[in-house]
Structures are given as structure tokens and as C-alpha cells.
Amino acid sequence: MKKGRKYLIWTAGMLLVFLLAVSFGSTKAEAAKPSALHVEGTRLVNAKGRTVQLRGVSTHGLSWFPQYVNQKAFTYMKKKWKINVVRLAMYTAEYNGYCTGDDQNRKNLEKLIDKGVRYAAKAGLYVIIDWHILSDGNPGTYQTQAVSFFRKMAKKYKGYSNVLYEICNEPNGGAGWGTIRSYADTVVKTIRKYDKKAVILVGTPTWSQDVDEAAKDPLKGYGNLMYTLHFYAGTHGQYLRDKAQAALNAGLPLFVSEFGISDASGNGGLNMEEGKQWLDFLDKNKISYVAWNLSNKDESSALIRSSCQKVTGWKKDDLSDWGRWYAARLS
């Protein structure tokens, strides 16, 4: 072969390798950072099998406080507070909920989720897409809507290794585990058609407290499921940790996708002593946790002071007592 042609082939080859590396690199930056998680036993683990504990914050209702879903805020919280997860709480019923508002509202919410997912990926954060049922009580109330919503989400985000799905925030109003289990079975099946591996968080009876009920009869036939435990330290103490411990002992993977140290109304005084006991317990057991809520609403469970209008870059004085306590605990 002539020297000139050899050189040409070599150059073209190198160019191809270079282009492949660049395009692979950029998809990776978008889709594979942070890396995919899965569930082993009761633990959340990474590809190397190392236990991963997620710790972060939840937005308030997305329709109500959309301004906190911004790149700077996410990057700031990752850097300063050392969070590694953010939860996008999308109410289904209240506050221009996804199921009670109109089509335009639904589109706006989906756009906001999309921004949230991308901002999180860019900041190196995991992100939870939370179907925030509350006054609707029984997850079956909007099951049809939940199925089409999660179908859409799973199709869209199957390539995003930072996305977790939370399929029913807090079942209540007498919805027992049997009811929740059958709802979860349908929704998980839908998600798994498109997204085979993403971690899915399943709510439990009584505002996601009765993990012992779920432990008696967990869902079967799916991997990467975890069950949610919610607490507010001003209301819930040792008896609820005992329930959590019993569920863990029974092999149920737990995830605290929402908690506070106010009372369960989201207001009232803060119980820092009980809050410390809770977080010590969760840290010891490497259980992930997400604090309610990233807003400046005039309530004690808001992380930002009500007088502060900033949507990122908060200094100590911009945070509520709760915000300061939590940021100090994390960083």
C-alpha cells in the first residue's frame, strides 16, 4: 500500500475514534452521571455493589413554588449542603394538582419536571419524580392518570440513570396495604415496560408509616423496589423507628422520601432532639432520606425563611431554624 493512502486511512480511523469518544462522552455526561443505582437486600447500591445513601431535599408542591427548580439552586445545595438527591413533589390533587388542574397546567408541570431532571443530572444529583397524593387518600383515586403519567415519564427518562420514581406519596384515609399493593403492581408493571431498572419507591399505609404491613407481603416479581417511611419528629418517635427496624429485619428495603422535625402538620415547634435520634438511626442503617420542604412558606417545615426571596445562594440568615439545623447536619 502506498504511504499516502496508509496515512489517509490512519487519519480517518483516528478521526472516527475521536468522534466516537466525543459523542459517547457527551451522552454519558447527560445520561450516566450520577451512575445507576439498584437494590440489594435492604440496601441501595451502586454498580460496584457499594452501599449508597441518598440525602437531600424535597421541593414543596411544584405548582406552588416552581421558582426553586433552577440550576443554580441544585448546584448550590450539592456543593454547600452536600446533598445528592432532590425530590420533585408534584401534588395530584391540591394546588393546581396534576389531576385536578387543566391540560395547560399538566403541560407546565411536565416541563418543570423535565427541567428538574436535567438540572439534577447536570448538578450530579439523583432526582425523585414524586406522584404526591395526599388529600386524594387512596392511590386508586387517580390510578388511570398515574398509569399514563408514569408511562410517559418512563419512556422519557429510561436513559437517565439519576431518576427514581415515587409512585404514591402518602396513602391515607383507610387505604390498606392490599389496595396500595394492587395499585403499585399496575404502576410498576407500566414503568418496567420501558424502564427496566430504575429504582421505584412505593408508599405504605397511614401516610407511609406502616412499613410493617408492606413487609408482610411485599410486591413480587420485580427488582429495584423500595418502600417509603415518612416521619415528622415532632409527632413520631421511637415507636415508628421500631416499626422501621422490624421491617428491615424482615428484609424490606426502606427509603425515607419525606421527613421533617416539625409536627406532622408541617408546622409547630421543632423537635431537634428527636430529629437527631431519627437521623442517627437512618445514618447507622444507611437509609436514604429527603427533607420537606424547599420553600419560604411561612411554616416551620420550610427550609428558607419566609422573609427571604432568594431562590439560591442562601446564607445562614436566609435559612429557617429547620434549614440551618439540616444544612449543618448534612455538611
Distance CA 249, CA 284 (A): 14
Task: Give the number of other CB atoms < 10 A from CB of residue 308.
Answer: 16
Quick one: which of 136, 166, 213, 258 contacts ligand IDC (CB under 6 A)?
258
Quick one: which of 96, 293, 300, 320 contacts ligand IDC (CB under 6 A)?
293
Marked catalytic residue, from 166, 213, 258, 274: 258
Our finding on whether 271 is near ligand IDC (CB under 6 A) is no
Distance CA 128, CA 271 (A): 26
Our finding on whether 173 is near ligand IDC (CB under 6 A) is no
> By CB under 6 A, what part of segment 301-330 binds ligand IDC?
301
Residue 186 φ/ψ, nearest 5 degrees: -65, -45
- Residue closest to 223 by CA, chosen among 204, 250, 195: 195
Our finding on whether 278 is near ligand IDC (CB under 6 A) is no
> By CB under 6 A, what part of segment 122-161 binds ligand IDC?
134
Quick one: which of 68, 126, 131, 207 contacts ligand IDC (CB under 6 A)?
207
Sequence-distant (6+) residues with CB within 8 A of 272 are 233, 261, 325
What DSSP letter does each residue of 139-192 carry, written as one string?
GGGGHHHHHHHHHHHHHHHTT-TTEEEE--S---TT--HHHHHHHHHHHHHHHH
The residue number whose beta carbon is nearest to ligand IDC equals: 266
Distance CA 154, CA 162 (A): 12
Instruction: CB nearer to ligand IDC: give 84 or 300.
Output: 300
Residues that contact ligand IDC, how many (by CB under 6 A): 16
Our finding on whether 100 is near ligand IDC (CB under 6 A) is no
Q: How far is the CB of 293 from ligand IDC (least distance, A)?
A: 6
Our finding on whether 292 is near ligand IDC (CB under 6 A) is yes
Q: How far is the CB of 62 from ligand IDC (least distance, A)?
A: 12
Marked catalytic residue, from 170, 213, 274, 299: 170
Instruction: CB nearer to ligand IDC: give 218 or 260.
Output: 260
Distance CA 224, CA 201 (A): 9
**Contact present, 301 and 266 (Cβ < 8 Å):** yes
Residues that bind ligand IDC (CB under 6 A): 94, 134, 169-170, 207, 230, 232, 258, 264-266, 292-293, 297, 299, 301
